[in-house]
């Protein structure tokens, strides 16, 4: 093996790159931490509902009755996950289920009066939560961040 080969191996070797790998610089790791922080802030303001449960109620409040599957698509949850969320909201009387008259496969979900009251009460808190989550940024930075984040999501 020549000296040039050794030089080449050093330059192209995996080791230097591997030593330079730092988890805290990876977008996935920071994304996970930012999400964790948001969920934590959410819990300090709304302690009787999780973010996914809130999302389900907010979406139903926005669009009205829909199928469980369609709701899942709108709030980015797969069928198995949305079922659990809806089950728990139903157990608490915040949503009610009914069968679709025409398409017998579908399970319709809608807010109960209690669910409507709950989401109307919580939406102002959700605005506070959003504000607190973005608090480390200036208004301009927050706008930029949301724009770029949306491109990634």
Q: Which residues bind DNA (CB under 7 A)?
A: 32, 36, 39-40, 43, 50-53, 67-70, 72, 76-81, 83-85, 88, 100, 102-108
Instruction: Tell the smallest beta-carbon distance from residue 109 to DNA (Å).
Output: 8
Question: Is position 79 an interface residue for a copy of itself (rule: CB under 8 A)?
Answer: no
Q: For every residue of the chain, which 3-state class applies, written as one string?
A: CCHHHHHHHHHHCHHHHHHCCCHHHCHHHHHHHHHHHHHHHHHHHCCCCCHHHHHHHHHHHHHCCEEHHHHHHHCCCCHHHHHHHHHHHHHCCCEEEEECCCCCCCEEEEECHHHHHHHHHHHHHHHHHHHHHCCCCCHHHHHHHHHHHHHHC
User: Residue 111 and residue 90: Cα distance in Å, rounded?
Assistant: 9
Q: How many residues lie near a copy of itself (CB under 8 A)?
A: 51
**Residue 95 binding result from DNA, a copy of itself, none, given CB thresholds of 5 to 8 Å by partner type:** none
| Binding letters toward a copy of itself, positions 7-26, x by CB under 8 A | -------x--xx--xxx-xx
Instruction: Tell the smallest beta-carbon distance from residue 31 to DNA (Å).
Output: 10
Question: Is position 141 an interface residue for a copy of itself (rule: CB under 8 A)?
Answer: yes
- Contact (CB, 8 A) for 81 and 72: yes
| Binding letters toward a copy of itself, positions 32-71, x by CB under 8 A | xxxxxxxx--x--------x---x--xx-xx---------
Which residue, 78 or 141, is less far from DNA as judged by CB? 78
Among 3, 28, 47, 103, binds a copy of itself (CB under 8 A): 28
């Amino acid at each position: 093996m020549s000296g040039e080969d050794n030089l080449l191996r050093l330059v192209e070797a995996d080791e230097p790159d591997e030593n330079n790998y730092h988890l805290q610089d990876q977008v996935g790791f920071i994304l996970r931490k930012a999400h964790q922080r948001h969920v934590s802030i959410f819990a300090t303001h709304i302690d009787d509902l999780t973010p996914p449960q809130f999302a389900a109620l907010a979406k139903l409040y926005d669009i009205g009755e829909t199928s469980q599957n369609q709701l899942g698509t709108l709030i980015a949850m797969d069928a198995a996950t949305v079922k659990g969320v809806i089950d728990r909201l139903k157990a608490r009387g915040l949503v009610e289920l009914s069968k679709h008259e025409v398409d017998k496969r579908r399970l319709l979900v809608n807010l109960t009066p209690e669910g409507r009251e709950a989401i109307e009460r919580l939406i102002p808190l959700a605005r506070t939560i959003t504000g607190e989550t973005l608090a480390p940024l200036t208004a301009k930075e927050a706008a930029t961040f949301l724009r770029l984040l949306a491109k990634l999501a």
